[in-house]
Chain A
Amino acid sequence: MSLAAMKPARPLPRWLARHETLLAAILIVALIALGSFNEVFLTPDNLLNQGRFMTETGLIALPMTFVIITGGIDLSVGAIVGLCAIMLGYSWKTFGFPLPLAIIFALGVGALAGFMNGLVITRLKVPPLIMTIATLALYRGLAEGVSQAHSVRGYPDWFYFLGQGSVFGVPTQLLILIVLIIAAGVALDRTTFGRTLYAIGANETAARFSALSVDRTKLIIYTLSGLASGLAAFVLVSRVTTTRMDMGMGYELDVIAAVVLGGTSIFGGSGTIWGTVIGLVMIQLLKNGLALTGVKGDATIVVIGGALILSVLIASSLQRRRE
């Protein structure tokens, strides 16, 4: 993009000064510091447990990275989680679907919700922020209306395996997240699809003129965003054994924080899955580490907010120094 990127090789290898590496360094420093304050923090037991808790946010953060790379945003993901959770329980209890079908139905609802977002964004050219703020209200409202504020509980035991079970000691949902992280990373880095995302984010008009299927790609990523929200809803319901219409409230900000912290520019055109993962892990482990050290909830929120600003500040100023 800039002339600086085309300069001849500098003494410092490029990968070392990338945002993601700087962030990883900050993360490691923070982990060591927190680990020194208490012994339970860096144990595999605790870390795996944290992996379990961060899966819902992580699942949604993957397509959110795609969306933000194209210069868009999706604020309705939290509401879609609530809607899918309700639909899972509702279709099982009220429609009488067998539970596996209900799960697929819930995922389908999520994909459909995301598809609607994408459709209006691409066909009617409504800016993503505006569209998803409106669907945030609509989908949450639908969750409340359909459920009539009832919860659905009493699932069979096998249902809880996803949210509460482990495979070889690793929480089930974390395994799924890892697989999807690898898939997303490969898709972003090595496929035309991924390249198209960067192109759209860098300059959408140029991308269109280069015969890239901009609209179809956008439609896909917003649908994926909804689908991921549906999957997160499934994991959440399995973890807490009940459905509530207020599930997922506030997820959108957590997800965006993780993605942006990871170096994805909100203006589009740059960002990696790897960065998102670091951002995700950083926020989760910071919260956990602080809590274990005895910092209370309200002070933790303050520290996370400060850490977010500080990390982005450090990483981007170091990057600019390099340029």
Chain B
Amino acid sequence: MSATAFVAAASARNGGLRRFASQEALLAVAVIGLAIVVGFINPRFLAARNLSDLLLGNAYIAIAAVGMSMVIISGNIDISVGALIGVLATLSGSMAVAGIPTVLCWLTPLIFGLSVMAAQGAVVAYLRIPAIVVTLGMMSILKGGLISVTGGRWITDLPQDFHLADRNIYGVPMPVAIMVVATALAALWMRYSAAGRAIYATGGNAEAARLCGVNPQRTVVMVFALHGLFAGIAALVYATQLRVIQSTTPPGLELTVITASVVGGVSILGGVGTVVGSTLAAILIAEITSALVFINVSPYWTDAVRGALILATVIADIVRRQRRAARGWKR
């Protein structure tokens, strides 16, 4: 049996249509269900303006979660993405203020993000240092380096046409369009291309994948590179939304992104999950944050409630998966 066909068959059983329908559907139901419930309590929540603001303001998290999901599915993790996004945003903004053509300012974070992450991927794959160590160290380097270089100075005075996130494409706001397109392309690529399915294979069982002709090292480098690309796109959306770019690392961003991936059904054991799930989860988490304000939860308790909801979602997902396994599904 050819390597690709084998991998295809394996992942079709593992990540097949059935499961795609289940976890992602659960999240979609949660997103819609919560909106309806909150809408009863405060109808302003369902205003088109509010829903669109919700998506606009948090699209960058979903985009970053696409790349993060890929990394986690391949059996690794990345803690440096928050710091990287801070660096890329500052880079892009500084270039714009310096008068460099806008399109270059948009492309540079993508290329830079891709390179930095690919380098980390290479260290993980070829030097066999655990991803958590490499990315933990890289996070420190990026965080400190950013302050060292910029002196903490904010970037104001951005040229008007820098603000990509303010534009619309066929009437859809750019951040939302990018989020949808990125998720769709990534999801299709991961399911239908050999390289994409190699990610699942590497995460599920690297040795078995190698025996099937998949090159785990190259796959890991590729995954990190893609993750860097998506981080660059997320940084772009993040940087072009407001008139000020803080040249510091957005606090807690990596944890938010990882949580989105995890709630989206990506298993930390590798080999399981989809990027559609992580996008829906990112939307859900943002929705919960907004909903808590709308239904007047005391601001002292919002974090606790959100934490409880995340915990409940995660436990429900795991329990559901176990029920499946007990009934004869593979995972």
Tell whether any CB of A sits under 8 Å from a CB of B in the complex: yes
Query: Is B213 an interface residue when CB atoms closer than 8 A count as contact?
Result: no
Contact of B303 among A120, A133, A137, A317 (CB under 8 A): A137
Residues of A near any B CB (own CB < 8 A):
120, 124-127, 129-131, 133-142, 144-145, 147-149, 253, 256-257, 260, 265-267, 296-309, 312-313, 316-317, 320
B331, chain A: closest CB distance, angstroms: 12
Q: A138-B308, A298-B148 are in contact. Are A260 and B130 (CB under 8 A)?
A: yes
**For residue B305, which residues in chain A have a CB less than 8 angstroms away from its CB?**
141
- List which B115-134 residues lie within 8 A (CB) of chain A: 123, 127-130, 132-134
**Inter-chain pairs besides A126-B314, A139-B307, A305-B141, 6 sampled, C-beta below 8 Å:** A137-B303, A142-B304, A144-B301, A145-B300, A260-B133, A265-B130
Let me know if B79 is at the binding interface, CB within 8 A.
yes
CA distance A264 to B303 in the complex (A): 33
User: Cα distance A265–B310 when bound, in Å?
Assistant: 29
B302 within 8 A of A: yes
Return B243 CB to nearest CB of chain A, in Å. Answer: 25
- What is the CA–CA distance of A301 and B123 in the complex, to the nearest angstrom? 20
B129 touches A316 (CB 8 A): yes
Overall SS of chain B's interface? helix
Mark out the residues of chain B between 295 and 315 whose CB falls within 8 Å of any chain A CB in the assembled complex: 298, 300-308, 310-311, 314-315
> In the complex the two chains form, is A308's CB within 8 Å of B307's CB?
no
Contact (Cβ within 8 A) B303 A130: no
Complex Cα distance, B126 from A320, in Å, reads 13
Considering the chains assembled together, what is the distance between the CA atoms of A1 and B165 in angstroms?
A: 53
Q: Can you list the 3 inter-chain pairs with the closest CB atoms, starting with the nearest?
A: A305-B140, A141-B304, A301-B144
**Distance between B64 CB and nearest chain A CB, rounded to angstroms:** 16
Assess the B303–A266 pair: CB atoms within 8 A.
Answer: no
How close is B68's CB to chain A, nearest CB, in angstroms? 12
Q: Cα distance A301–B147 when bound, in Å? A: 10
Interface centre among B142, B259, B304, B322 (most CB of A within 10 A): B304
In whole angstroms, how far apart are the Cα atoms of A303 and B140 in the complex?
8
Chain B residue total in the interface (Cβ 8 A)? 47
Assembled-state Cα–Cα distance A112/B123 (Å): 39
Cβ contact within 8 Å between A309 and B315: no
B318 near A: Cβ within 8 Å? yes
Q: Is B164 an interface residue (CB 8 A)?
A: no
Given contacts A141-B302, A305-B140, contact A124 B133 (CB under 8 A): no
- Residue contact B144 to A137, C-beta cutoff 8 Å: no
Do B268 and A300 touch (CB < 8 A)? no
B136/A141 in contact, CB under 8 A: no
| Distance in angstroms between the alpha carbons of A145 and B307 in the assembled complex | 12
CA gap between A90 and B300 in the complex, in Å = 15
Chain A residue nearest to B136 (CB atoms) is: A257
* Other-chain residue from A137, A140, A306 in contact with B259 (beta carbon distance below 8 A): A137
| CA A253 to CA B137, docked complex, whole Å | 10
Bound Cα distance A256, B258 (Å): 17
Q: List 15 A-B contacts (CB under 8 A).
A: A124-B319, A129-B268, A133-B259, A134-B314, A138-B308, A141-B305, A141-B308, A144-B301, A260-B132, A265-B130, A299-B148, A300-B144, A302-B144, A309-B137, A317-B127
